[in-house]
């Protein structure tokens, strides 16, 4: 390897929704005896999932696999309404760690379907987020993955709305949007697309470095939609060599010149450090920032209520005064990667 310089995209890695979900599952493994169950991967990253597995979390793809009464977390990608219902009927403590920006899309689906719209949903077939969102109004929603899919739709015979998975590549979204507007001139869509701030910011930062790099390395899992979108954006930007890797040992040995590095929204910063150490650039690392993110999503309501109730019980049974500060007082300052590190010790 003969790497001269690394251009490091910012923002990269964990987004506010992933931060919230990881910290929430971190609380679950501290509060409950194992096993704690999690419906779907908490976020799409092998390292994060493996770390929680070692702490006694069991990941399931069907809530019927969860024993009655066992604690259960629902993943950040959002779950179908019938899954949430079945989870709550199981009798155990349930925390829904859905990202609020996915909840917003679920709400848009519900409202538009209620008003009689046919909904075109731009998303990836089989992805957890798309499956959960489409289940909100299956009779009104059509999945479209490409411009051709828009052309192939039967005539909806009524008003049409366009909604999207939060983690799409901007180019994919723009292509479908154009095709949908041409075919349905009265198309309704939200004032701002459903692509979330984290998706947009990571793609903008990558575009900034892609034209200046001899190769781009995108860190993240193959089942992470926003990671795959970053890979696509780098290719669209004309970068000659683009690699998506889970870890540093997957890097090719012949990288040279200027290498751009970014990470999907579910990839921890320790993987970025690992990759940079392996690239070992002769002239160091330059961070290229397009914006700073200060979005913060507080812990899920169920968890806040549980911890408050535990504090109240402790003060009654132990006679201790109620704590002056909530357990979540430092939550905003606490990084999910630090929580993961602390739990691994």
* DSSP code, position 71: -
Window 53-72: contact mask with ligand SF4 (x via CB under 6 A): --------------------
Query: Considering only residues 208-237, where is the footprint of ligand SF4 by CB under 6 A?
Result: 226
Closest approach of Cβ 297 to ligand SF4, in Å?
A: 8
Output the smallest distance, CB 267 to ligand SF4, in A. Answer: 12
16/144 with CB nearer ligand SF4: 16
Write out 285-298 in H/E/C secondary structure: EEEEECCCCCCCCC
Total Cβ atoms within 10 A of residue 32:
17
Choice from 140, 199, 207, 262 touching ligand SF4 (CB under 6 A): 199
Structure tokens at 300: 């899920």
By residue count, the chain amounts to 345
18 or 141: CB nearest ligand SF4: 18
User: Is the distance from CB of 13 to CB of 267 less than 8 angstroms?
Assistant: yes
How near is the Cβ of 173 to ligand SF4 at its closest, in Å? 14
Among 8, 15, 119, 219, binds ligand SF4 (CB under 6 A): 15
Stretch that binds ligand SF4, among 31-39, 95-103, 153-161, 320-328 (CB under 6 A): 95-103
Determine if 109 is a binding residue for ligand SF4 (CB under 6 A).
no
31, 199, 219, 302, 335 from 15: Cα distances, Å: 24, 9, 14, 21, 11
Residue among 196, 258, 272, 306 that touches ligand SF4 (CB under 6 A)? 196
Q: Is 207 in the site for ligand SF4 (CB under 6 A)?
A: no
Q: Please tell me the distance from the alpha carbon of residue 185 to that of residue 109, in angstroms, as a whole number.
A: 20
How far apart are the C-alpha atoms of 121 and 115, rounded to whole Å? 16
Ranges within 259-318 binding ligand SF4 (CB under 6 A): 265
Q: Which residues contact 203 (CB under 8 A, 6 or more apart)?
A: 169, 170, 229, 230, 233
Active site residues: 129
- Which CB sits closer to ligand SF4, 118 or 227? 227
Cis ω for the linkage preceding 200 (within 30 of 0): no
Work out which of 18, 87, 130, 206 binds ligand SF4, going by CB under 6 A.
18
Report the nearest approach of ligand SF4 to the CB of residue 264 (Å).
Answer: 9
- Residue 13 and residue 290 in contact, taking contact as beta carbons nearer than 8 Å: no
What are phi and psi for residue 181, nearest 5 degrees? -65, -35
Site for ligand SF4 in 317-336 (CB under 6 A): none
Give contact residues for ligand SF4 (rule: CB under 6 A). 15-18, 76, 99, 101-102, 166-167, 196, 198-199, 226, 265
């Amino acid at each position: 390897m003969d790497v001269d310089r690394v251009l490091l995209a910012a923002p990269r890695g964990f987004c506010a929704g992933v931060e919230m979900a990881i910290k929430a599952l971190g609380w679950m493994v501290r509060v409950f005896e194992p096993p704690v169950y999690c419906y779907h991967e908490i976020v799409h990253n092998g390292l994060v999932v493996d770390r929680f597995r070692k702490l006694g979390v069991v990941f399931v793809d069907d809530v019927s696999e969860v024993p009655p009464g066992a604690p259960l977390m629902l993943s950040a990608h959002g779950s179908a309404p019938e899954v949430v219902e079945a989870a709550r009927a199981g009798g155990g403590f349930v925390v829904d760690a859905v990202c609020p920006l996915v909840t917003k899309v679920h709400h848009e689906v519900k409202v538009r379907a209620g008003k009689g719209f046919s909904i075109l949903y731009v998303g990836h077939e089989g992805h957890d987020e798309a499956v959960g969102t489409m289940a909100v109004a299956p009779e009104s929603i059509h999945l479209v993955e490409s411009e051709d899919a828009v052309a192939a739709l039967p005539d909806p015979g009524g008003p049409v709305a366009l909604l999207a998975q939060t983690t799409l590549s901007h180019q994919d979204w723009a292509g479908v949007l154009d095709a949908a507007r041409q075919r349905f001139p009265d198309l309704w869509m939200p004032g701002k697309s459903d692509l979330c701030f984290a998706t947009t910011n990571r793609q903008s930062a990558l575009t900034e470095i892609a034209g200046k790099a001899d190769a781009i390395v995108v860190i993240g899992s193959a089942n992470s939609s926003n990671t795959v979108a970053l890979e696509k954006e780098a290719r669209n930007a004309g970068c000659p060599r683009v690699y998506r890797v889970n870890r540093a040992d997957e890097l090719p040995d012949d990288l040279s010149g200027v290498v751009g590095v970014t990470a999907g929204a579910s990839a921890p910063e320790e993987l970025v450090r690992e990759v940079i150490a392996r690239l070992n650039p002769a002239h160091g690392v330059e961070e290229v920032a397009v914006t700073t993110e200060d979005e913060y999503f507080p812990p899920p309501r169920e968890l806040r209520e549980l911890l408050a109730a535990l504090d109240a019980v402790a003060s009654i049974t132990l006679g201790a005064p109620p704590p002056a500060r909530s357990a979540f007082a430092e939550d905003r300052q606490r990084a999910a990667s630090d929580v993961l590190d602390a739990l691994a010790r």
